[in-house]
Each structure stands twice: as structure tokens, then as C-alpha cells.
């Protein structure tokens, strides 16, 4: 039976899946990424060659765990973190460590350097490591790039090259989702365990790939991606946007996704709190502690007895003073209140962002699909259903971006004849979680939480200006 390999490189780890034509995962591996390095203020990079190293290790492990014939592998789908920038020498090696999406330089014009012969994304860099080709996924170019949103190709406007600091000689060739990037070289095969000569297929940016793998097909649904960066997306028919949403490339040729304002360091905050509260004994079971925290949070009533969390603990460029906060303590609350308050803050904040996007677009979705690490929490899924007041469905596979990458490889390789048949066979969602009896309470609490966020924002500005 033919299979494809899906590479899903995210903000905190790289996951590799071996997937068959029905979406069944035959083997998988996950390798964590090292913490971002901050060599100077405003710079945030993946240390050394960490992204490639994690991909190579995860591929080797997944291939070791695959009990089938490597000759069954017909394609590889490559998905990496969006909004990164790779500065490459003429031979394709990194001139400096990969710039993460949090590095302020990715939102600025490229500054020419004699050592830099190519400027690419994370996917362009990894595609070159795998295939030796300077070819990249068109759908992974958002931000400061001379890209034409209509054609998915480099702009012919000379001003675009000037404003971004990137002339055509610096840039890779672009291909659509499902198109071939190249074939695995003997050197890459030796490092990754992937079969030499297997074609590598383009996907898109990681959020779009996640949406594809979750089965998002129209604006009848909104997808809530509960990852390190939390955002809501729905299908759009053209580029554009507004004050409360922007339009990103999708993961089918010519498709676009409307994306709401999001939460930076979203589910990261959940992990941060868990690690902060977790006992330090090496004999403890971390997952057992997760279950304890979840049980304690479930016992807390909506509103957490007055405790609220304000999220986005990484200030965006247009609000440099923004800070997160816990407020409302009376001495009667415990760690379950803190844990639930973070989950509620995610739901309250994103419900407002979804509403703002839908008002601006003039279209309201019937239901919500949830993906990412946060979708594994039944409590968070129920809170989201109660706060948004709509049915919530969870993607069937934990790694929706991995399934999206597998779908791209399945279409590119011909394992499935077209996008619709591949999605129908390989993606899907579970039974809907309906709003519960506490939905009315949560609807009343939304204005309360909105007011807290507004006042904490005012306090953050005051703190920054009043501090001597």
C-alpha cells in the first residue's frame, strides 16, 4: 500500500508522520526544538541549525518505526513554521541562525550582506537541504516579501523589490501546494533515513496546512488553532482584509484564508503555568500532574471566583507595552483557579476576535473546528463551545498540520486524484460538543473579561511610562 511522509515543523517541536491513503498513521516521531536564542535585543533565532537537526532526527526515528517497505513511500509533504526568514550563503547553508517569527527583523526590509546570496523561508531552507533545489512553497510567503497576492508569484513591480530589499536574484522559485520541490538527495537520505529520489511536495504556511488537515472547506466553519500562536481562520474568496482580520494563502492552489487577530504565546501560557506549578521531583509523572490540574480546574465554577487572566504575554510591535496578568485574587483561590482562568481567557479573547472578524467580513460561521495542543483538553473545548455559543468539533487526528502535509503529498504524488478526494479520505472531525448549561453564564462574563483586558492594557501603558 502506498504511503506518504509528512514533515510538520512547528514552533516547539518537529513531528513526522508516515500516513497511508486513508489517513491512518503508520509511524510517527516527535523531536522537541531548543529554546529560542536572543543574541541581542529584538533578535530571536533558532540556535545553530536546530530546525534542520530536529527534522533529520524526527525523520530517522519515524523511518525506524515504520514497519513497511520504504519503497512504498511515494512522496514527502514539507510544512514548516511560517514568518521565519533564512539568510543563506551561495551553497544554501545558513549565513546565520534561522530567524524565528518573533524576530523583529522579519517584519523589516532585508539589509544586504556580502555573505547572503539567498533569502528564503524556513520551508525554502529545508527544501534545499532535502533536495538541493532553490524552490519553495508560494503559500509560505506572507509578511515582508515581494509577493503578488493574486498570482502567488514574485511581483513584477520594481517598487516591491526596493521596499523589501529583495531583488529576484535573492529569491527561490515558487510552486503551488502539491507541486514538486525536488527529490531527496543521497546526502539528505543518509542524514534523514528517507529514501533517495523520493519527491518532496510543497504545502503552504503552517496554519493553512493545519486548516487543510482539519477539513476546513468553507466559511460555514471557523477553525480555531489552539497552538503556540492561537488564531481563528475561515475560507475567503480573495486577498484583502481589514482592521480585525487579514487574508492569508490557503493550502490549495488559489485558495485564501481569512485569519483573525490572535494570541501570541497562547497555549505556551498553559505550559508555562504547568511547569511553574509542577513539583521538581524527577520521579513525578508530568502527565499525572496535568490530569490533577485539569480535575481541579473542572471543579472551579465559571468565572473562577473572580480570578481572570489577561493573555498575549509577548507584546506585539504595535503595542510594545502590552503585558499579561492574573487579577482578582482574594486568598480563596488555588491552582485550579489559575489553570481554568487561562483556559477561559483563551476562549473569551478568541471569541471577541472571531466576532470582530465575522462582523468585518459580513459572514457568520455555523460551527467551530478546533485543532492543536489545546484541542486535547475536553475542558477547554467545552469552554470554547459555551463562550462562542456554537457547536465545536475536534479534528480527528492530533497533528492536523501533519495530515495536511500528507494530503499535499498524496495529491502531488497521485495517491489521490484530487484535493476533494484526498481530504475526504484522510481528514475529518469528531462529534460536535454542544454549548452546555453554563453557556448563559459565560455569555454574561464576556463583557466582564473584556473590561478587565481593557483596564490591564491601560495599566501596562501607565507602568511603562511612570517607571523611573
pLDDT, mean of residues 147-158: 97
**What are the pLDDT digits (tens) for 38-63?**
999 999 999 999 999 999 999 999 99
* Residue 281 binned pLDDT confidence (cut-offs 50, 70, 90): low
pLDDT of the residue at 397: 86
279: confidence class by pLDDT, cuts 50, 70, 90: low
Q: Is the pLDDT of residue 367 over 80?
A: yes
CA distance 204 to 248: 10
Question: Between residues 284 and 253, which one has the greater pLDDT?
Answer: 253
Q: pLDDT band at residue 319, thresholds of 50, 70 and 90?
A: confident
- Proportion of the chain above pLDDT 90, given as a percent: 87
Residue 271 has pLDDT above 90, yes or no: no
Global pTM reads 0.92
Q: 10 Å Cβ neighbour count for 204?
A: 34
Q: What is the pLDDT of residue 284?
A: 55
Task: For 123-144, write each residue's pLDDT tens digit.
Answer: 999 999 999 999 999 999 999 9
Residue 398 has pLDDT above 60, yes or no: yes
Mean pLDDT value of segment 346-362? 97
**Cα(290)–Cα(271) distance, integer angstroms:** 10
Residues 6 or more apart from 164 whose CB is under 8 A from it? 109, 110, 144, 145, 146
- Please enumerate in sequence order all residues whose Cβ is within 8 A of that of 248, keeping only pairs 6 or more positions apart, or say none: 142, 205, 207, 208, 233, 256, 257, 258, 259
Kindly tell me if the per-residue pLDDT of 282 is higher than 90.
no
pLDDT tier at 286 (50, 70, 90 boundaries)?
low
Write the DSSP assignment of 280-327 as a string of letters: --TTS-HHHHHHHHHHHHHTSPTTGGG-EEE---S--TT-TT---EEE
Higher model confidence: residue 240 or residue 354? Answer: 354
User: 109-124 pLDDT, tens per residue?
Assistant: 999 999 999 999 999 9
Complete DSSP assignment for 411-464: HHHTSSSSHHHHHHHH--B-PPBPP-TTHHHHHHHHHHHHHHHHHHHHHHHHHH
pLDDT at site 14: 97
Mean pLDDT of the chain: 95
Confidence category of residue 285, pLDDT binned at 50, 70, 90: low
Range in 95-99, 172-176, 279-283, 461-465 the model is least confident about:
279-283
Instruction: Return phi, psi of residue 412, to 5°.
Output: -60, -40
Q: Which of 241-245, 251-255, 272-276, 284-288 has the lowest mean pLDDT?
A: 284-288
Asked if residue 56 lies in contact with residue 191, where contact means CB atoms within 8 angstroms, the answer is yes
pLDDT at 226: 95
pLDDT tops 60 at residue 207: yes
How many C-beta atoms surround the C-beta of residue 328 within 10 A? 16
Region 158-183 average pLDDT: 97
Q: For residue 292, name the pLDDT band (cuts at 50, 70, 90).
A: confident
Which domains occur in the chain, in start order? 3-209 (3.30.420.40), 217-394+437-468 (3.30.420.40)
Quick one: average pLDDT of 255-279?
Answer: 90
pLDDT beyond 90 at 429: yes
Q: Per-residue pLDDT averaged across 277-293, rounded? A: 70
Kindly indicate the confidence band of residue 148, based on its pLDDT and cuts at 50, 70 and 90.
very high
Q: Supply the pLDDT for residue 308.
A: 97
Residue 261 CB coordination number (10 Å): 19
Task: List strand residue ranges (DSSP E) for 147-292, in order.
Answer: 147-148, 153-154, 173-175, 180-183, 199-202, 221-226, 230-236, 245-249, 256-260
pLDDT of residue 131: 98
pLDDT of residue 204: 98
The confidence score (pLDDT) of residue 332 equals 87
- Mean of the pLDDT values across residues 67-86? 97
Amino acid at each position: 500500500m502506498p504511503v506518504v511522509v509528512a514533515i510538520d515543523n512547528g514552533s516547539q517541536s518537529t513531528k513526522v508522520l508516515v500516513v497511508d491513503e486513508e489517513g491512518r498513521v503508520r509511524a510517527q516521531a516527535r523531536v522537541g526544538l531548543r529554546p529560542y536564542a536572543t543574541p541581542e535585543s529584538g533578535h530571536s533565532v533558532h540556535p545553530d541549525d536546530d530546525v534542520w537537526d530536529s527534522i533529520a532526527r524526527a525523520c530517522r526515528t519515524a523511518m525506524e518505526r515504520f514497519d513497511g517497505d520504504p519503497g512504498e513511500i511515494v512522496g514527502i509533504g514539507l510544512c514548516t513554521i511560517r514568518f521565519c526568514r533564512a539568510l543563506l550563503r551561495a551553497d544554501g547553508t545558513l549565513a546565520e541562525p534561522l530567524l524565528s517569527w518573533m524576530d523583529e527583523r522579519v517584519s523589516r526590509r532585508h539589509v544586504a550582506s556580502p555573505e547572503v546570496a539567498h533569502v528564503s523561508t524556513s520551508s525554502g531552507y529545508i527544501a534545499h537541504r532535502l533536495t538541493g533545489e532553490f524552490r519553495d512553497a508560494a503559500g509560505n510567503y506572507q509578511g515582508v516579501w515581494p509577493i503578488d497576492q493574486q498570482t502567488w508569484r514574485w511581483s513584477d513591480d520594481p517598487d516591491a523589490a526596493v521596499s523589501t530589499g529583495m531583488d529576484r536574484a535573492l529569491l527561490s522559485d515558487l510552486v503551488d501546494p502539491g507541486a514538486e520541490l525536488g527529490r531527496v538527495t543521497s546526502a539528505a537520505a543518509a542524514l534523514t533515513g528517507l529514501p533517495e529520489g523520493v519527491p518532496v511536495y510543497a504545502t503552504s504556511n503552517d496554519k493553512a496546512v493545519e486548516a487543510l488537515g482539519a477539513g476546513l472547506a468553507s466559511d460555514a466553519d471557523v477553525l480555531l488553532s489552539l497552538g503556540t500562536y492561537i488564531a481563528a481562520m475561515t475560507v475567503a474568496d480573495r486577498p484583502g482584509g481589514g482592521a480585525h482580520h487579514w487574508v492569508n494563502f490557503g493550502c490549495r492552489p488559489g485558495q485564501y484564508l481569512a485569519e483573525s487577530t490572535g494570541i501570541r504565546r497562547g497555549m505556551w501560557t498553559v505550559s508555562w503555568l504547568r511547569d511553574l506549578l509542577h513539583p521538581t521531583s524527577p520521579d513525578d509523572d508530568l502527565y499525572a500532574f496535568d490530569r490533577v490540574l485539569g480535575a481541579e480546574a473542572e471543579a472551579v465554577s465559571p468565572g473562577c471566583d473572580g480570578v481572570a487572566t489577561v493573555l498575549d504575554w509577548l507584546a506585539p510591535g504595535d503595542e510594545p507595552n502590552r503585558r499579561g496578568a492574573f487579577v482578582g485574587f482574594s486568598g480563596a483561590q488555588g491552582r485550579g483557579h489559575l489553570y481554568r482562568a487561562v483556559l477561559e481567557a483563551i476562549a473569551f479573547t478568541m471569541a471577541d476576535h472571531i466576532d470582530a472578524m465575522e462582523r468585518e467580513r459580513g459572514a457568520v460561521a455555523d460551527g467551530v473546528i478546533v485543532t492543536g495542543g489545546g484541542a486535547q483538553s475536553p475542558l477547554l473545548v467545552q469552554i470554547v463551545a459555551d463562550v462562542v455559543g456554537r457547536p465545536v468539533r475536534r479534528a480527528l487526528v492530533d497533528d492536523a498540520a501533519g495530515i495536511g502535509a500528507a494530503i499535499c503529498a498524496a495529491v502531488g504524488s497521485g495517491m489521490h486524484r484530487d484535493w476533494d478526494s484526498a481530504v475526504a479520505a484522510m481528514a475529518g472531525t469528531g462529534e460536535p460538543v454542544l454549548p452546555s448549561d453554563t453557556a448563559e453564564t459565560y455569555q454574561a462574563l464576556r463583557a466582564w473579561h473584556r473590561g478587565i483586558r481593557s483596564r490591564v492594557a491601560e495599566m501596562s501603558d501607565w507602568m511603562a511610562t511612570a517607571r523611573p
